[in-house]
Structure formats: structure tokens, C-alpha cells
A and B are shown apart, each in its own frame.
Chain A
């Protein structure tokens, strides 16, 4: 069911004056989670930027119940919480809101365990492609060639494809999303909340601080990632992959914008060589062809 922004609940889950940086994609994402799930959501949040965005206790800049937890523990805490709600017969959607580090690196075993057990939770990976909270260190989600404080001359390895790894866990629902496409993200969240078992949503979240761009451009850069084909929006219910509407036009390679348009406005790719650019272009093609194979 297509969603129109004006039909979304007016209730605010992200309160003004919280501690997010200007142009913060995590803050945007959290607002959309509020719009999609409203008062049903209980958030489990490991270490990462969102631990800071909440602001200082005893106050909170977010209007959700939030259980902050150790870095590598979130999906297990969520599994336990979801089990308790079931035992008590309470209606709740338990959501893990974790960074790419909390998801793909230190939290990976926990994530994989919960997915394999099909625990009834939604895991959202808010992917800003580095450890931002500790000051922009590389993660397995940092793309090839990107500068971080631990890859000064550009990362040498490619981005690990977590959505596909999660797809191979044969969980009931996997999706990618982008902060530039709120209705697509909200639809996916709503769909996920109606499905029992483990749901995984990987949210692309360009970070002005870590990627070195003007904070006014967060949404534009996120959109360029989709328009260049660097980030592909899809979802998979019961293992059946469907390219999502915002990405559909870009199945046709000729309609994709050159990836240089996306990279050149990010300071983290300042020292990009032609060789790396070619390699990144090749990776985009590979990612598309694999995903299209899976979607037929």
C-alpha cells in the first residue's frame, strides 16, 4: 500500500534539540521509524551515535522506550525482550537500531544467531559506513577507497554485503532502504511489523561529519547513491527478491548517473584514483547482476 506523507501520524518521536549533528541521517531515520511504528516500538540501541543523539539522562531527546545496551548484545537483548512481551501477552514491536559496526562487525555473531533462530524482532542497520561515534574509523561497511581515520590513504577492501548475507539466513524479510526515500522505508517497516520472525532492514545513511560533505546535502547524497546504482533498494519476503520502485529505473544501466557524481561531493573520496573508480564501477555492476539474478 503506497504511503502518503500527509497521512502519517503527527506524533513526534524525535524531539527538537536532541544531540544529533546537523544533517544527521540517524536522526532522520529515527523520525521515520516513529512515523512507521509509533507507540508500538521498543528500541534496543547498542553503542554508537544514537546513544549520543538521545541527549543527556535523565532526559531523552527521543520519545521511544529505549534500552541502551552493550555494543555486541543488541539482537540477544531484543530476543529476550520480545520473548518477555509474548509471555506477558503484550503487544510490542521490538526493534534493534544499530550502526554498521554494531550490526556487521562486533555485533555480527549476535545478529546472525538471532536471525538463524528467527527471533521475532526487527533489526535496522543504520549504515553510515564507518564507526562515527568513536571518530570515523573504518568498518566492514566502509566502501573501497574511502578515507577514514584508520584508512588514511583510502580503504583497501570492498564493502561486505550484509543484506545478502542476511538473505542467505532465509529469514522471512530482508530489505534495503535509504534516508532519501522515507515512504519506501516506512512501507518496509510497516510490512516488517506484520511479519512474525526475524526482519532485517539495512538503511543507507550518509553522514556529513564522517563523509565530509555539507550537512544540507544528506538527502541529496543518499538519493545520488540510489541514482548511481551504488545503493540498490530492494526487499525480499520469503526469499523472493523484488527491486523497490525508487531503484527500478536503474536496472537499466544506461539510466544510472555516473558514480563520480556521487563520490566527488564527498571529502572522503578526495584522493580517489581512476583505478579505484573503475573498481567501484565494476562492483556496482556485479552487485546489480547478482541481485537481478536473485530477483528472477
Chain B
């Protein structure tokens, strides 16, 4: 173990090295670029033995790692915003082919106008592809979760690709102390790659020709759905194993912060969960309010069971989303509502849309939204407005 100061992007690059990735391909886009620059440097210095395919587009980046992974080697790519959108059809293809790949997405606003600051719209646009999606809160989690994601995606109960999402600049370019595990510990955690099939000369395996039976094609999609369900357990197991070997855990699908006696809940994904924790402390210490926080670590698979468990007897929940599905609400909000409805839980839930396009949101802002929301729900037993747009401190 060694404590190092690393940006989120360097933490990801370090994880990729520790995972002994063999093929990397990526195309530059701010703020992802320093991940691949770092990996290129590691290869040049001989610290990492991998092939870097310097492609001409993101579509080609994911295509190249898909080819490499189908050929039997551990592969990695990284992108952001417009780059991720440019890859879109490839994400479906990789998931449908059940090929494990890990991709880092430095989540960034989508244009117009051009905007490099954080926003979760890019990742959320890919929620239906069949990729596992985890959002990290800090650089330590970025490193740990990237390594874990290789193990999870290559587990035969899962065999799906996975995205580790980290917020633009807030994590990608901010230095934090990160505990880098020894290679031997990572090797003990991460077994050699397994995958459902490997393309080899002489073995006439065919992937992707037209199906004879459409029901059989539909079943492939059901299998993705089931694998995603099975991934829940695999994610929990990986978290425990990581703790056993490395001595650190972040939670499986969710982390609940000061939830034990909580009546009112904040819910969110990504880096601003750190600010939400501060808001919880502030609301508890200053106002004596019993507020807790559900950090949704995995957006896919979505932790419905955890949400139902925590909110079953709660007085209210406020879900903060850094993206919007227009005319409905934030993606996390939608999933929380659906989870509660499926279990008949009638806890009032408000969806707050904030921090889009990189608009700054402080922990005081978050606490203020909670104060108004809690007083509203205590007075009326419900929220006046289910979806609220919040632009930050006035």
C-alpha cells in the first residue's frame, strides 16, 4: 500500500495498470484525455505492458476494444460527453455480445453550447444499453471501483460490460490522497480474465448473424436483464472480497450515510454525494433533523431493494439529479419512484434537478433545499411540486 496524491483520472489509469489490461484504445476529449495520456506514458516507460490503439474516433475506440476483448484479452477505453454519444451503437453491440469491457466515463455536459463541466446526462443517456453503471464519489473510489469492475464484468454470472463514471474536473482533475494497493493484492483479488467465448482462427464461431427465431433474439435481451439482476449479488461479493484483501469498502450497490434513525432522505449519485454528506451533518447538528443519505453507487443494476428498504417507513425523500429526462424528471428520481411503486410504498418523493451544465451546487444549497422540502412535507404530508428546478444559492 502506498498513499499517493492522484487526480481522479490518474487514479483510473493506475487502476487500469494494476488490472493488467492488455489493449487500450481511446480518442481524446476533455476531461477524459489525461487518463489515456497517463496510460500512454506508462506504456512508453515500460510500466505497463499493453497495446495502445490510437484510433480516429470514439466509435472506433469502443470498436477496437470490442475486437480485442472478443479476441480474449482484458481491454479498456475511456471517454466523455460527445465521445460517449458518438459510441452509442457500439455500447449496445458490446452488451448484446456479452463481452466484458471496462470503460471510464468522465461525465460532462452535452452541447449545445460547448460546455466541458460536469453533468450526468452523457452517462444517463446509456442506461438502457445493458452496461453496468457505477458513479464514484471520490478518487479512492474511482481507483477501487475500476479494479472491482473488471472482476464483476468478467464473472460468468454477469458477462456484461461496465462503466465507471466520475464527475468532470470535480474528480477528474482534482488531486486527493489515494491509497494505491500493492500489485500482489490486486492480483489476489482479480483472477485471470474469463469471458463467454473467444474468437480464434480455425474455430468457425459466428456472432451476430440474423436470428432464425425472433423469440430467441428476445430471450437474449431477457438474459441481459437477468444478468444485470444477478450482478447485484456479484457486486456485493466483490465489495466484501475487496475489503478482505485490501481492507477497504465503499458499500455494494448503495451506501447509506447516517440512515439508522433517519426520517428524511437525500438520494444522489456521483461526486456531489460528498456535499450531501456535509449537508446531512449540518442538518442534523444545526437543526436536529433526522436526515440520512442514500448514495446510489450503482445506477445499473438499480438497487431497488435497498431503496425500498430504507424508504419504507420514511417521512420523505428528495432525489437530486444532475440530468433530466424532459417531461418526466431526473433518471434517479424516476427509478426511485418506480421502485417504491412496485412495493406499494407511498413515501412522498421530490425530484430536484440541479447542477446541470456544471452549475455549482454547495452543501449549503443542498441543505436549504432539504429544509424547505422537509417543512413542506411536514406541513402538507406531501410535496407541492414533484419536480423542482434548482439553480443554486440566490
**Mutual binders A and B:** yes
Name A's B-contacting residues (CB within 8 A): 39-42, 44, 51-52, 54-60, 62-70, 72-88, 90-93, 109-110, 112-113, 116-117, 119
Tell me, yes or no, whether B212 is within 8 Å of chain A by CB: yes
> Once the chains bind, are B93 and A112 in contact (CB under 8 Å)?
no
Residue in A closest to B49 when the chains form the complex, CB atoms: A87
- 13 pairs from A and B in contact (CB 8 Å cutoff): A44-B67, A56-B209, A56-B212, A66-B208, A68-B208, A69-B208, A72-B59, A77-B70, A79-B53, A80-B71, A80-B75, A85-B201, A91-B201
Tell me, yes or no, whether B222 is within 8 Å of chain A by CB: no
Name B's A-contacting residues (CB within 8 A): 22-23, 25, 51, 53-57, 59-61, 63-73, 75, 89-90, 93, 199-212, 216
> Once the chains bind, are A88 and B207 in contact (CB under 8 Å)?
no
Residue in B closest to A119 when the chains form the complex, CB atoms: B53
> Once the chains bind, are A76 and B206 in contact (CB under 8 Å)?
no
- Bound CA–CA A92/B60 (angstroms): 21
- Bound CA–CA A42/B67 (angstroms): 11
> Once the chains bind, are A57 and B53 in contact (CB under 8 Å)?
no
> Once the chains bind, are B201 and A68 in contact (CB under 8 Å)?
no
> Once the chains bind, are B71 and A81 in contact (CB under 8 Å)?
yes
Residue in B closest to A40 when the chains form the complex, CB atoms: B201
Query: B57: which of A65, A85, A110 is its contact (CB, 8 Å)?
Result: A110
> Once the chains bind, are B201 and A93 in contact (CB under 8 Å)?
yes
> Once the chains bind, are B63 and A70 in contact (CB under 8 Å)?
yes
On chain B, the residues within 8 Å of A52 by CB distance are 210
Query: A84: which of B55, B59, B68, B93 is its contact (CB, 8 Å)?
Result: B68
> Once the chains bind, are A65 and B200 in contact (CB under 8 Å)?
yes
Residue in A closest to B208 when the chains form the complex, CB atoms: A68
Query: Smallest Cβ distance from A186 to chain B, in angstroms?
Result: 18
Query: Smallest Cβ distance from A242 to chain B, in angstroms?
Result: 30
On chain B, the residues within 8 Å of A69 by CB distance are 63, 66, 93, 208
> Once the chains bind, are B51 and A90 in contact (CB under 8 Å)?
no
> Once the chains bind, are B72 and A62 in contact (CB under 8 Å)?
no
On chain B, the residues within 8 Å of A93 by CB distance are 201
- Bound CA–CA A92/B210 (angstroms): 25
On chain A, the residues within 8 Å of B73 by CB distance are 83-84, 87-88
On chain B, the residues within 8 Å of A74 by CB distance are 63
- Bound CA–CA A74/B204 (angstroms): 18
On chain A, the residues within 8 Å of B71 by CB distance are 80-85, 88
6 nearest A-B pairs in the assembled complex, by CB-CB distance? A84-B71, A80-B67, A68-B208, A113-B56, A76-B63, A80-B68
> Once the chains bind, are B200 and A70 in contact (CB under 8 Å)?
no
Query: A88: which of B54, B69, B72, B90 is its contact (CB, 8 Å)?
Result: B72
Count of CB-CB pairs between chains A and B under 8 Å: 170
- Bound CA–CA A52/B212 (angstroms): 11
On chain B, the residues within 8 Å of A119 by CB distance are 53
Residue in A closest to B97 when the chains form the complex, CB atoms: A67
On chain B, the residues within 8 Å of A54 by CB distance are 206, 209-210
> Once the chains bind, are A65 and B25 in contact (CB under 8 Å)?
no
On chain B, the residues within 8 Å of A110 by CB distance are 56-57, 59-60, 63
> Once the chains bind, are B206 and A77 in contact (CB under 8 Å)?
no
On chain A, the residues within 8 Å of B211 by CB distance are 56-57
Query: Smallest Cβ distance from B292 to chain A, in angstroms?
Result: 44
- Bound CA–CA A266/B216 (angstroms): 41
On chain A, the residues within 8 Å of B66 by CB distance are 69, 73, 77, 80
Residue in B closest to A86 when the chains form the complex, CB atoms: B51
Query: B67: which of A55, A72, A77, A87 is its contact (CB, 8 Å)?
Result: A77
Query: Smallest Cβ distance from B159 to chain A, in angstroms?
Result: 17
Query: Smallest Cβ distance from B206 to chain A, in angstroms?
Result: 4
> Once the chains bind, are A65 and B67 in contact (CB under 8 Å)?
no
> Once the chains bind, are A80 and B25 in contact (CB under 8 Å)?
yes
Identify 18 new A-B residue pairs, CB closer than 8 A, beyond the known A65-B203, A93-B201.
A44-B67, A58-B212, A63-B204, A66-B204, A69-B208, A80-B66, A80-B70, A82-B67, A82-B71, A84-B22, A84-B69, A84-B70, A87-B23, A88-B73, A109-B57, A110-B56, A113-B55, A113-B56
> Once the chains bind, are B202 and A39 in contact (CB under 8 Å)?
yes
Residue in A closest to B51 when the chains form the complex, CB atoms: A83
> Once the chains bind, are A76 and B212 in contact (CB under 8 Å)?
no
> Once the chains bind, are A67 and B207 in contact (CB under 8 Å)?
yes
On chain B, the residues within 8 Å of A83 by CB distance are 23, 51, 53, 64, 67-68, 71, 73
- Bound CA–CA A86/B71 (angstroms): 10
> Once the chains bind, are A67 and B208 in contact (CB under 8 Å)?
yes
Query: Smallest Cβ distance from A21 to chain B, in angstroms?
Result: 15
Residue in B closest to A61 when the chains form the complex, CB atoms: B209
Which of A72, A73, A82, A119 is packed against the most chain B CB atoms within 10 Å? A73
Which of B53, B57, B71, B90 is packed against the most chain A CB atoms within 10 Å? B71
- Bound CA–CA A51/B334 (angstroms): 39
Which of B22, B64, B68, B72 is packed against the most chain A CB atoms within 10 Å? B64
Residue in B closest to A90 when the chains form the complex, CB atoms: B200
Query: Smallest Cβ distance from B126 to chain A, in angstroms?
Result: 15
Which of A42, A44, A58, A59 is packed against the most chain B CB atoms within 10 Å? A42
> Once the chains bind, are B60 and A113 in contact (CB under 8 Å)?
yes
Question: With A42-B199, A88-B72 as given contacts, are A65 and B64 in contact (CB-CB < 8 Å)?
Answer: no
Question: With A85-B71, A117-B54 as given contacts, are A57 and B209 in contact (CB-CB < 8 Å)?
Answer: yes
On chain B, the residues within 8 Å of A64 by CB distance are 204
> Once the chains bind, are A68 and B209 in contact (CB under 8 Å)?
yes
Query: Smallest Cβ distance from B58 to chain A, in angstroms?
Result: 10
- Bound CA–CA A57/B215 (angstroms): 12
Residue in A closest to B61 when the chains form the complex, CB atoms: A76
Query: Smallest Cβ distance from A51 to chain B, in angstroms?
Result: 6
On chain B, the residues within 8 Å of A84 by CB distance are 22-23, 67-73, 75
